[in-house]
Amino acid sequence: MDFPLDIVFIGADGRINAIESAPAPGPNEDGETIQRTGRGQYVLEVPRGWMERHGIHVGHQVAIDRSDR
């Protein structure tokens, strides 16, 4: 990862449990390993600030299409 992210943790019920921001890596970091405390069955990574710009917050419901399974 070479750019800042919002990391979205989504539970099995489709609700957003946590949204955490990850900054771009520093000059002595490779950006490959980040640790976060959020939990969920699914994780979504989007550009940092995307969730706020679109008014999406913890507790909102996410529809996950699993028709390809």
Q: Write down the pLDDT at residue 29.
A: 60
Mean pLDDT of 4-13: 92
DSSP letter for 41, please.
S
Domain ranges of the chain: 5-53
Q: Write down the pLDDT at residue 67.
A: 83
Residues present in the chain in total: 69
Q: Residues 17-56: pLDDT tens digits? A: 999 987 766 666 655 556 667 788 999 999 999 999 999 9
Q: Is the pTM of this model over 0.85?
A: no
Neighbours of 19 (CB within 10 A): 19
Four-CA torsion 26, 31, 36, 41, nearest 10 degrees? 160
d(CA 10, CA 39): 8
